[in-house]
């Protein structure tokens, strides 16, 4: 994606990235595959510990070759939400979730200084987002205004927040494992458990059920398909890339 940064910025103003994070148990040079919402079971220190790992991965690896500046957290209560400028073409933030979406919405609207996501010509890169659905679970049940704005920001009609890079470990209910990988502008590819063979390929992100059925079909498993959402079922010591 690095060679096409300028093209990405012209085509879309808001993108998402899913990065595997360095594992605590495997050392700083090993990466553990993230599940659908990150490997929550691996972080005894919660979001603050996960954020430290994410920041280290970004600044020491993902930002290599770029001029960047770290601006701190969006707010003292915006847990895990750091902010960086990347050169003069992008802003980067991490871990916006249903519970912290109000801070993310403030960033987009310019309350932290200047509007982003295309309004000022810069791209917004969101790393390891946790929001679910299209805004219907954002905030508290009584925060109707926030949920309305979230649905507007995340609606399919806007056509933004495309996942330009994703690396995610998957596991069917039958125990068949694989890795889902997407590198913009290529298709979504599902690899077998060893990462050696492509068992499925799609233009759009496949659903959990499609992923599970594809893994089962490729392994010749005839049990009913399903998908473990629990990170404890998808993040283990042997699920790593070195």
The count of domains in the chain is: 2
**Spatial contact of 240 and 23, defined as CB atoms under 8 Å apart:** yes
Token pair for 106 = 């403030």
Whether the link from the prior residue into 152 is cis, omega within 30° of 0, is: no
Residue ranges of alpha helices (H) inside the chain are 5-11, 46-57, 101-109, 144-154, 208-219
Count other C-beta atoms under 10 Å from residue 240's C-beta: 18
CB 15 within 8 A of CB 8: yes
Amino acid 1: pLDDT:
41
**What Rg value do the Cα atoms of the chain yield, rounded?**
18
- pLDDT tens digits for 100-156? 999 998 888 877 766 555 456 678 899 998 887 777 888 888 888 888 888 888 877
Shared domain check, 122 and 13: yes
Residues 102, 104, 110: CA angle, nearest 5 degrees: 100
* 69 vs 86: CA distance, rounded Å: 7
What's the sign of the alpha-carbon dihedral 185, 138, 43, 61? positive
Q: What is the pLDDT, as a whole number, of residue 116?
A: 58
pTM, two decimals, is 0.77
**Tokens 């400028």 — which residue?**
85
> Which of 115, 148, 163 delimits the end of a domain?
163
For residues 49 and 153, is the Cβ–Cβ distance under 8 A? Answer: no
Question: For the segment 45-86, what is each residue's pLDDT rounded down to a tens digit?
Answer: 778 888 888 899 899 989 998 999 999 998 888 889 999 998
Q: Where do we find the tokens 């079971």?
A: 41
Residues 131 and 170 in one domain: no
| Residue range(s) defining the domain that contains residue 183 | 166-241
- Residues 42 and 117 occupy one common structural domain: yes
End-of-domain residue from the set 139, 163, 187: 163
Cα 238 from chain centre: 22
Do 95 and 26 lie in one domain? The reply is yes
- My answer on whether omega of the bond before 18 falls inside 30° of 0, hence cis, is no
């Amino acid at each position: 994606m690095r060679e096409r940064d300028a093209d990405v910025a012209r085509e879309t103003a808001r993108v998402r990235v899913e990065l595997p994070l360095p594992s605590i148990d495997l050392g700083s040079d090993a990466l553990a595959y993230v599940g659908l919402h990150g490997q929550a079971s691996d972080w005894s220190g919660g979001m603050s510990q996960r954020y430290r790992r994410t920041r280290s991965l970004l600044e020491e690896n993902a930002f290599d070759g770029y001029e960047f500046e770290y601006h701190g957290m969006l707010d003292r209560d915006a847990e895990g939400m750091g902010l960086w400028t990347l050169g003069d073409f992008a802003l980067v933030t991490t871990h916006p979730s249903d519970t912290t979406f109000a801070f993310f919405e403030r960033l987009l609207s310019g309350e932290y200084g200047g509007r982003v996501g295309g309004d000022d010509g810069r791209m917004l890169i969101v790393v390891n987002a946790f929001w679910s659905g299209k805004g219907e679970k954002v905030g508290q049940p009584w925060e109707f205004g926030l949920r309305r704005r979230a649905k507007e920001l995340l609606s399919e009609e806007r056509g933004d927040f495309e996942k330009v890079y994703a690396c995610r470990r998957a596991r069917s209910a039958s125990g068949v494992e694989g890795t889902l990988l997407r590198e913009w502008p290529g298709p979504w590819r599902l690899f077998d458990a060893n990462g050696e063979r492509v068992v499925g390929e799609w233009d759009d992100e496949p659903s959990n059920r499609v992923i599970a059925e594809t893994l089962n079909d490729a392994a010749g498993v005839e049990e009913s398909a399903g998908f473990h959402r629990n990170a404890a079922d998808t993040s283990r010591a042997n699920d790593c890339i070195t």
